[in-house]
Amino acid sequence: MIRALWLKKILKGRSKGVSSVIGTVFLVLIVFAISTNIFLWTISQNAIYNQAVSDTNQKNADRLNESIVALQANYSVPLPNKVKVSVKLTNTGSVLAQIINLWVFDTTMQRYGFNDTILSLNLNLNPGNVTYLTDSKAMWVTIVGASSADNFVGWFVTARGNTVALQVEQSVIVANLAQGIGSMALDFFAFRYFKYNVNKLAGYPAGNSSFNVPSRTDIAFGVVLTNLDPSKQTITLDLYSEVWIYFPKAPGQSYVWYIVNVLPDGSITTPYSSITIAHRETKMLIFASSAAGEFTKVSIGSAVENLPCALNLLLLGRIGARDYGQNIPFVALYVYKP
């Protein structure tokens, strides 16, 4: 009896010891599991933090590397309360840039306006890209009561939050000179010619920016003009406005291209309808037809291959209520054999 009780006590003591060991082991495992989870969670949070810091640094770097230059800005009001903005954009930075908005401030009336539809134009500029927002691609901003006689300032906003001030083309001297040579100013470096893709201008509106043109090839010319009339009147060009080239070394050889209307896709429409250019408005005009008011393609003959020629721009129409005529003779071309 005594031995049995003694064994029972021993076994009961051992059982308590084993339970303590097992409990300790479980406790250690639980602590280890919790510690491991905390450690892994800390590592994951640290990775997320480092990634966030890296993304932020990259965004800041991209924002600092984003650089857009907006030159040759022109403001006009060809429609009531509608400010038309033409500008040349160049991405001088090292990253892709996206324009998402345009703001214009009428300093004369102290009123703002903005255009939030630029995204629909997919206005993305790769590094080195140059884009002309003129004619059908010009921006429109609504400012109630605005007129062409008002003064404007504007700026673009990029997707990264940078602002790009529009730099107005310095035209004071040209405008004063216009009293002697006429009211329209030619953007010399925007001169271009077009070949055809079937019956459309190929690559319109970019075309070929060159003063060397091919012979025996149907071509058209594009010129960018700005109305700098000192009296701030609208100029209307009629169907007899033309580009005329002649060859000093080939007397009697000359060619004419009359003004035409062009759709945004490069298609030429007939009959010709008058083109108007408001004060301080910039437009690209296309000269493509051998007949006034119609459309017949023009090519330069082989008799004048490898010769230079002079190009004159002969503009006719109305300025306000008066007759208008101006000759702009500042372009020289070289005709090469293709």
pLDDT per residue rounded down to tens, the chain (338 residues): 555 555 555 555 555 555 666 767 777 778 777 878 787 788 888 778 777 777 777 667 667 888 899 988 888 888 888 999 888 899 988 888 888 889 999 988 899 888 856 555 568 888 988 888 887 788 889 999 988 778 899 998 888 888 899 987 654 444 444 444 678 988 888 999 999 998 899 999 999 999 999 999 999 999 999 888 877 889 999 999 999 999 999 999 999 999 999 999 999 999 999 999 988 888 999 999 999 999 999 999 999 999 999 999 999 999 988 999 999 988 999 999 99
Tell me how crowded residue 15 is: count the other CB atoms within 10 A of its CB: 10
Q: In this structure, what CATH number is given to the domain that contains residue 286? A: 2.60.40.1930
Domain shared by 195 and 308, yes or no: yes
pLDDT at 60: 72
Domain shared by 138 and 96, yes or no: yes
Q: In this structure, what CATH number is given to the domain that contains residue 75? A: 2.60.40
CA atoms within 13 A on the CB side of 100: 9
Domain shared by 163 and 196, yes or no: no
pLDDT at 264: 93
Domain shared by 155 and 178, yes or no: no
Domain shared by 158 and 181, yes or no: no
SS3 content of the chain, % helix, strand, coil (to 5): 25, 45, 30
Cβ atoms of residues 73 and 86 within 8 Å: yes
pLDDT at 224: 93
Q: pTM value?
A: 0.57
Last residue in a domain, options 117, 139, 168:
168
| Parent domain of 235 | 172-336
Number of domains in the chain: 2
Last residue in a domain, options 153, 168, 183:
168
Does residue 16 form part of some domain? no
pLDDT at 174: 45
Does residue 330 form part of some domain? yes
Domain shared by 129 and 182, yes or no: no
Domain shared by 157 and 276, yes or no: no
pLDDT at 176: 44
Residue 70: partners with Cβ closer than 8 Å, 6 or more residues away = 87, 88, 89, 156, 164, 165, 166, 167
pLDDT at 121: 56
Domain shared by 256 and 153, yes or no: no
Domain shared by 192 and 243, yes or no: yes
Backbone angles phi, psi at 170, to 5 degrees: -70, 105
Domain shared by 93 and 152, yes or no: yes
Last residue in a domain, options 168, 195, 216:
168
Amino acid at 36: T
Does residue 58 form part of some domain? no
**Tokens found for residue 266:** 């490069």
d(CA 114, CA 299): 44
Smallest CA-to-CA distance from 270 within 296, 235, 236 is with: 296
**Tokens found for residue 197:** 């893709």
